[in-house]
A and B are shown apart, each in its own frame.
Chain A
Amino acid sequence: MTDSVWIRPETEYRSEQYFGAAMWSRIFAYVAVVVSAQILRWSLYVSHGFDLGFYQQALAAWVHHGFGAQSTYFPGNVLGHNGAWLMPLIAYPATWLGTGFLFLMESFVMALGYIPIVRMARLWEVTPNQARLLGVFYLLSPLLIAGNLYDFHISMLAAPILLWSLASAWESRLWPFTAALILLTGLGIHAVLAGVLLAAVVITKHGLKPFSWLALGVVVLWIGLLHHFLGTPVTAGILLRDVGVQFHLSARSGLYSLWVFMPWLLWIGMGWRHSRFYASPYWIFPLLDLAAHLLSNNLAQTSPFDQTSALMVPFLLWAAIDTARHYKPWPRSGHLVITVALVGMLGVMAFDFYHSAWRVRPHNAQALTMAVSHVARHHWIYAQNNVLPHLGMTAHAIPLSRLDLRHIPPGAEILWDTQFEGHTTPPAVYAYLANLVHSHRVKIVFQTAGVYVLQTP
């Protein structure tokens, strides 16, 4: 008998040989699925102008009219609307590479949040299986996916950056932490407010040292600049201006809210199983965030699937990781329950894709596509919320809800789908358009299946 001379590789080196492909494959699985869903929604006219369209318009406005550009969506300066100074930096690549670039960038940056979770979990000696599960918990969080699927929101990018800065703060790495914090200030007012919480985290960990002062200083300085020079409504994002607590109740919001409470349920469950309770001090941060979220006087912010909810996720996970390390190891049944919950949430989101309370899918997508091809891009174009993102990177698009019936610019075009009624356009505008079509005051450029392109003389 002859022994084989096959040389067994040193298995500990195989990871280096394959450059962490398993982790990156999970990250790109998320990117591939979410980008596909985003583009499918876009192609079926489910994307909204007040989400994706606003950013497209803002980017085009900066390229054509400079940083002082005025918004055609909201009154006032584009930059002042949300105070996201990182937006102008992506204006040129986005106008060149198109809407798909925005989708891919958002999903990829969101998915990168998986890395700091695994790093923090490893640092706190949580088992690799638990770390992976927590990472997947982050990726599949409906709060993130809902915000991510709903077109494009610059503030969503704050979630992974918050995780990176939390990991850096815990490792006492000053420069990565400061860089993450500066990036955070560029992602809109809600991200800056989350930065205040982050500064509180640093003070909790390190006390009032130069490290913490620097963190706090950066955030406070930027809030001051936003408030005084750009006129950003800083305080509107916090809470209780007129004590108008509003709850948006539906089966969907119930299920999504359950996700917010799930880490707490997990904590109670683990305490019950181990017959000892460990109350992580880090629960205070998501609680503060939750309070600001629920008690806001802005209806959109109280809904559990608003993009600002996403900023709660890093703090929730941070507390969950801290809890996990005190209850290690989890039983196999615990893993099973979490996996079933994750798969269940995917089912809910798939269902939501078809039966969304907020997003109505138009029936005549083909006619809309033909109508969009008849629109001249150099004129002012008024269109419904779901059509605006299809007008591309143009500074000339205006939501139909802002149609001033007393003064419509000459040569302006109106793209109107008579079978679609968005919640954002007042009935008076629709009534006016119905009269306009039957009068001879406008030129009908295109008309098919109840979709019109009208042009004013």
Chain B
Amino acid sequence: MKVSKSVHVEESPRDHFLGTAPKAGTGNWRAMRRQWGLWAELTRNLAVRDVETRYKHSMLGLYWAIVNPLVTAAIFGFVFGVIFHVSSKIPYVVFMLTGITFWNFFVNGVMSAVGSISGNAALLAKIYFPRIVLPTASVLARFIDFFFSLLVLIVFIFIYHTPIYWTSLWIPVILVLQVFFTLGIGYLVAALNVLYRDVNQLMGLILLVWMYFSPVMYPVTNLKPSLRSILLMNPMGSLLQMERDVIFTGHLQYPLFAWVALAWTAFVFLAGISLFRRIEPLFAEVM
């Protein structure tokens, strides 16, 4: 029986390049910072690899990031704007595209995170690094698609002469909340998908239902207060409403629900990390 080891067994795991973090409270802040720097670099590299492999052998390449939101907006715009006559204060196509752009960033992030652990079994078997880096990189890689979708949205805003406000500068702040929320859900589903592969299929369904319970395609302003409150209790619903408000109305129409979104985002992010941490030791056994 041949036994090969690329790392000496005597070597402490903590001395290894991407080993566990130095213990907090020991005063070793410089080492901790270095370690976090290395993990951040690994996350960035994995995110870049993710984008490259996705578009490498396709004919349209990165243009797919533009085609997808355009087709979706065209279909939904026709169905809800032309057939069902859903009205909004701004041109319905712009209203719709805004919702779709931010919603897709969430959906794509979650769906990429689902298979991020189970799809990298070979990498996990080779070297230790914090496994949480994988779903993080998957979610962050979706920024490229989001960026192109945002460009499409800006073009449509100009085509339809829709007035926008300076408060749009708040978008990055709201987006940070959305990223943390997406990461939280991403950690949950990535860890659970290692144990139960049904999670991948299930998430597709859940996200579809979730979309209809979020104000992606319809405005909440005309709804009954009780129904509107329930829809805005959904953190994604509240985040989407805030994103539209800062761009098109110049103020938050339902500021109280921003606090709900903040509270749920903090909880989902921490619960995601917590569950991931619990399941992480099982990854090696299950895969």
Contacts and interface: CB of A to CB of B under 8 A. Distances in A.
* Pairing of A with B: yes
B169 interface: no
A3 B4 contact: yes
Interface in B210-242: 224-226, 228-230, 233
B256 A7 contact: no
Contacts of B264: 32, 36
Contact of B13 (A2, A10, A40): A10
A99 B20 contact: no
Contact of A22 (B6, B128, B277): B277
A28 B267 contact: yes
B105 interface: no
Contact of A9 (B19, B230, B274): B19
Nearest to A40: B229
B127 A5 contact: yes
Nearest to B284: A6
A interface, size bucket: 35 or more
A5 B259 contact: no
Interface in B18-44: 19-21, 23-25
Contacts of A28: 263, 266-267, 270-271
Given A14-B277, A31-B266, A6 B6 contact: no
Contacts of A98: 255-256
Max count, chain A CB within 10 A of own CB: residue among B259, B260, B273: B259
B258 interface: yes
Interface stretch (A100-108, A148-156, A412-420): A100-108
Contact of A40 (B124, B128, B233, B278): B233
Interface in B36-74: none
Nearest to A18: B277
B274 A21 contact: yes
B29 to A, nearest CB: 13
Contact of B6 (A5, A9, A25): A5
Contacts of B125: 4, 6
Contact of B5 (A3, A42, A366): A3
Contacts of A13: 14, 20-21, 23
A35 B273 contact: no
Interface residues of B, number: 49
What DSSP secondary structure best describes chain B's contact surface? helix
B225 A42 contact: no
B255 A100 contact: yes
A365 interface: yes
A43 interface: yes
Contacts of B16: 7
A24 interface: yes
A279 interface: no
Contact of B226 (A2, A9, A44): A44
Given A98-B255, A100-B258, A100-B259, A29 B126 contact: no
Contact of B262 (A4, A6, A43, A104): A104
B3 interface: yes
Contacts of B267: 25, 28-29, 31-32
B103 interface: no
Contacts of A3: 3-5
Contact of B260 (A21, A22, A35): A35
Given A98-B256, A104-B263, A366 B224 contact: yes
Nearest to A102: B259
A36 B263 contact: yes
A9 B20 contact: yes
B114 to A, nearest CB: 20
B174 to A, nearest CB: 15
B225 A369 contact: yes
Contact of A5 (B126, B256, B266, B281): B126
A36 B260 contact: yes
Nearest to B277: A18
B233 A1 contact: no
B248 interface: no
21 contacts: A2-B3, A5-B5, A5-B6, A9-B20, A13-B14, A13-B20, A16-B23, A16-B25, A17-B21, A21-B270, A28-B266, A28-B270, A31-B263, A36-B264, A39-B257, A39-B259, A44-B226, A99-B256, A100-B258, A100-B259, A100-B260
Interface of A: 1-11, 13-14, 16-19, 21-22, 24-25, 28-29, 31-32, 35-36, 39-40, 42-44, 98-101, 103-104, 107, 365-366, 369
Interface of B: 1-7, 13-14, 16, 19-21, 23-25, 124-128, 130, 224-226, 228-230, 233, 255-260, 262-264, 266-267, 270-271, 273-274, 277-278, 280-281, 284
Given A3-B5, A16-B21, A32-B263, 18 more contacts: A5-B4, A5-B126, A5-B127, A7-B127, A7-B128, A18-B274, A21-B277, A22-B274, A25-B267, A28-B270, A36-B264, A39-B233, A39-B256, A39-B260, A43-B229, A100-B260, A101-B259, A103-B259
